[in-house]
Amino acid sequence: MTVLLLGGTSDIGGEVAARVCPGRDVVLAMRNPSAGTEAEKRLLERGAKSVRSVAFEATDFASHRRVIEDAGDVTTAIVAFGILGDQAKAEHDEAEAVRIATVDYTAQISVLTVLADTMKRGEIFAFSSIAGWRARRANYVYGSTKAGLDAFCQGLADRLHGSAVKLITARPGFVIGSMTEGMTPAVMSVTPDVVADAVVHAAQAQTSTTVWIPRRLRALAAVMRVVPRALWRRMPR
């Protein structure tokens, strides 16, 4: 019964792992395994049976199945890697646009497909975002990847229906953490621990589910759909 965290240094992923690790083996998959020392120590302090860090490169699709299968009997998978990227650069540099799309969408559907194919039971945590609900001028490249990932997760949840594996899809608002350091928090911002509490609680359900974090964000999302485009294009990140 292994916990696999893809994105071993992720703020949100680490918080989720800390809540589900007691008495279990944990595998932290990240680009630089030597960076996992602090995360390993924290999880052991939180009751993990064992913790090890392994190399994982999101853009190396051919390695995904091997990394996941080598992790052991995965019963909890946390797909928490990703980048914000540079929106301003991506508007003129196709390589940056493709880099964001590759890490935040293509690599995500790759590992989610492998997890759904190999896991016999348990839960998969995936992270969408309010940014994908309606893409904004200020961050449409990142937002488009979240829109695609959200749609993929809806279909994957239906595919897993009736099986012993469930998919918990998080739709948080602005998350205050290392990825957004230096940015001004948006309305209804949350912290990684709040996101983790919400998705771990949602995993207690018997089936796949999607979680707005915070819950009242659902009401804001409904309003977002009807804002006139002339006004919407001036909305900040």
Quick: pLDDT tens for 182-191.
778 877 899 9
Res. 223: pLDDT tops 80? yes
Cis link prior to 33 (omega < 30° from 0)? no
- The answer to whether 211 and 114 are in contact (CB under 8 A) is no
Quick: pLDDT tens for 117-167.
999 999 999 999 999 999 999 999 999 999 999 999 999 999 999 999 999
Name the nearest CA neighbour of 13 among 231, 195, 182, 135.
195
Residues forming the active site: 142
- Amino acid, res. 112: L
